[in-house]
Structure 1
Amino acid sequence: MILIRYILKKFFPVFAGALVFFCFVLLLVDLLGNLWRYLLEGASLKAIARVSLFYIPKAVSFSVPLAVLFGAAFTLSSLHASNELTVIFASGISLFRFTLPLLIFSLLLSVAFFFFEDRIAVPFYARKIEAQRAALNEPVSYDNDRIVVLADGGRTVYRADYYDDGQQRLYNFMIFMRSEDRSLNRIITADSAFWDNQRWILSGAVSYIYEDGKIFFIEGSDFVCTETPDTFKNISVSVDEVSTAEAREYIAKLKRTGLPHAEAASLYHKKFAFPLITFIAVFLSIGLAGKSRKNILLVSLVSCVSAAVAFYVTQMVTMLLSQFGYISPFAGAWIPVFLFTGISIVLLRFART
């Protein structure tokens, strides 16, 4: 119990200090990166401060993995440099047993990190984007053009030249209806269509029905289209920037409308895999403990940045592979976690104890 309190007492001040430092750096980078735009648009100090305030939770989310990695690496390197680890090992306590409190803490932090990101960081980041757009006078438009949407498992195809979100109206609207074997049996065209809160009202509709090798022409249409306007809006959703529930709904919409969804599915699985980076960070730090007695601050920083870069690059590669269909979305998100956990186990196996 004494050793548990001792290592946690050594770790938490470094972790807290690193967290504050990395958060400050991220806030400063975001502010300076957009400062010229704020000045150009004449944004008030209150509006700028509001943007930075809403960005704090996301900055914390970005900083936690680096702070945990740095805190663990610096703490263990300090204990090694002062020969305290040698004394602990000589008393019969292994490196794994001594650092087990850090591993348990990092695992609990991974769970907390997931909920913090999903329930706090994501909503606040959305408000940050809204506040930034308001400060920069950036208009938001959901108008869309050259629209093609699949529905009903691909049996119905909607096409429109343009969607006006302000009027909730589609122009040059066409509906292609297909049978179970995907053969075309009906086409409906309309000059326009507007949404009446329940269905689309077609204007100037004409139906072409294909039966027994013949085409029949009918003015008007009895087809009822109940697809919501959201189906036709120009909504570019980044799964990274929405909650898991919203991400599931968005992916379901992509599947339903026949749009590519591999990238969105990969990012969705990443939401569950990425929080474990805090556990992996501590595990890596333990495996690298005792590699240097000199310049422990510099060595800790270098090992921290190197491990983070290696993990992010690996994750970027696997995510790209999943987006292009070479591996599954699940594999794209989880391979880096499994790979670096394995590397950590190997490092711990050959660590000095």
Structure 2
Amino acid sequence: MNRIDRYVSGLFWLSFIGGSLVFVTIFLAVDAMSTMVSYKGLDLGVLLRFYVYYLPEIFNKLLPVACLLATILTISTMNKANELVALFAAGMSLFRITLPLLFWVLVISVTGFIAMDRMGPAMARQKNYIFYNEIKKNPSLYSTVKTNKIWYRSKNAIFNIKTLSAAGDTAQSLTLYFFSPEWDLLQMITADKVELRGSTWNLLDGSVTLFTGNSSFPLTSQFKTKKIAMGEDAKDLQSTGQTSDTLSQTELHRFIERNKEAGLDTIRYEVDYHSKYSFALAGLVMCLLGIPFSVGKARSGGTMMNVGIVILLVFGYWILLSSSLTLGTHGHFNPIIAAWAPNLLMGGLAYFFMLRLKR
């Protein structure tokens, strides 16, 4: 890197660090106040531990915004000081000037993706555990996802599910254990398939085993269909069916394959899988889109206009991304198209505006 590249990189990192701190602080303040209002009497120590585990996820979500803001502020600062004019006169193109910015954005994006893939799932599990057990005080909603099993607890029952559909309305290979208040095993129910209808479950092709002190051996009977009433908290099992944030990409891929083998719908998980890759490059795409705007508007509107451009670009991208992922999860788009279409469209728009620049 020559002196100009180091100068541009210095401006970028100064804006990136400052923007990241501002965005994260604002997000934490708003979210923490909302949490304290929703759950009154919450211990501050619990809240602090919750946000310690939540912080990496917050920072990862705000990375594209921070990269975009840093890029636009860097170019605007140079444009306002007529440094761009001098560099253009020296024969440097806009692409060459912004090349260090794009390099650092790519490094940040790849590093953030790898870090979240390695550490994110463990942090998300700890965050969920604190939220359901210590903040919401409803441990039955917390699920621990193993490599091949899912365990839940609902009042005096513990149950194991091999696979759970994305919608949370069907499950495969269920084993239910019912206990007495003294935690003596009373009954075990197994079923090959389960239809979850709120707190009422329809069990198909299973068995019931009773454990009583009057008999030396457990009593077992088979059934084709059986309807059981679970606790009210069991109907919230659907809300814990989303496990993508607690799995690495490798684990999520295996989870998808296992659900496919069980004949369950995996579209939602496939969209999540591909969207993690596409979101890792969102910062680079948005920066490419922001470069022509910052060059063309810096003199006439100043820094505040460029900040407004950042907000508009972010909102536009998030609306497009949310719409595409929603259509993908409902089966209207292929998961790969749903995940990558926003980046491709934004990238094409950035290329169009770059061509319209006179420089």
- Would the TM-score normalized by the shorter structure come out above 0.5? yes
| Mapped partners of 1:78, 1:165: distance in 2 | 67
TM-score (norm 2): 0.74
**CA deviation vs aligned residue, 1:214-242 (integer Å, no higher than 9, x gap):** xxxxxxxxxxxxxxxxxxx8751331443
User: Of residues 350, 353, 359 in structure 2, which corresponds to 1:344?
Assistant: 350
| Mapped partners of 1:247, 1:193: distance in 2 | 37
Equivalent residue runs for 1:137-148 within 5 Å: 137-141=136-140, 142=152
RMSD (Å), alpha carbons: 3.2
Shift, 1:70, TM fit: 0.5
Q: Label 1:43 to 1:91 Cα distance change in 2 as closer, same or farther (>3 A).
A: same
Q: Label 1:269 to 1:84 Cα distance change in 2 as closer, same or farther (>3 A).
A: same
Shift, 1:36, TM fit: 2.2
User: Of residues 170, 191, 195 in structure 1, which corresponds to 2:208?
Assistant: 191
| Mapped partners of 2:272, 2:219: distance in 1 | 38
Residue number in structure 1 paired with 2:8: 7
| Mapped partners of 2:311, 2:50: distance in 1 | 28
| Mapped partners of 1:238, 1:148: distance in 2 | 14
Residue number in structure 2 paired with 1:306: 312
Residue number in structure 1 paired with 2:324: 318
Shift, 1:14, TM fit: 0.8
Equivalent residue runs for 1:164-179 within 5 Å: 164=177, 171=189, 173=191
| Mapped partners of 1:331, 1:2: distance in 2 | 41
Provide the secondary structure at the position in 1 that maps to 2:208. strand
Residue number in structure 2 paired with 1:120: 119
**CA deviation vs aligned residue, 1:164-196 (integer Å, no higher than 9, x gap):** 4776965484789xxxxxxxxxx96533489xx
Q: Label 1:165 to 1:289 Cα distance change in 2 as closer, same or farther (>3 A).
A: farther
Structure 1: runs of 5+ lacking an equivalent: 151-156, 177-186, 195-200, 208-232
Shift, 1:64, TM fit: 1.3
Equivalent residues, number: 302
Structure 2: runs of 5+ lacking an equivalent: 141-151, 165-170, 180-184, 195-203, 212-217, 225-236
Residue number in structure 2 paired with 1:279: 284
Shift, 1:67, TM fit: 0.8
Q: Label 1:165 to 1:79 Cα distance change in 2 as closer, same or farther (>3 A).
A: farther
Residue number in structure 1 paired with 2:83: 84
Residues 67, 287 of structure 2: 8 Å contact kept: yes
User: Of residues 222, 238, 242 in structure 1, which corresponds to 2:247?
Assistant: 242
Q: Label 1:165 to 1:296 Cα distance change in 2 as closer, same or farther (>3 A).
A: farther
- The amino acid that maps onto 1:124 is M
Residue number in structure 2 paired with 1:54: 53
Is 2:19 the counterpart of 1:18? Answer: yes
Provide the secondary structure at the position in 1 that maps to 2:328. helix
| Mapped partners of 1:149, 1:193: distance in 2 | 25
Equivalent residue runs for 1:257-296 within 5 Å: 257-292=262-297, 293-296=299-302
- The amino acid that maps onto 1:246 is E
Shift, 1:81, TM fit: 2.1
Q: Label 1:149 to 1:98 Cα distance change in 2 as closer, same or farther (>3 A).
A: closer
TM-score (norm 1): 0.75
| Mapped partners of 1:243, 1:174: distance in 2 | 28
Is 2:238 the counterpart of 1:255? Answer: no
Residue number in structure 2 paired with 1:203: 220
Residues 71, 287 of structure 2: 8 Å contact kept: yes
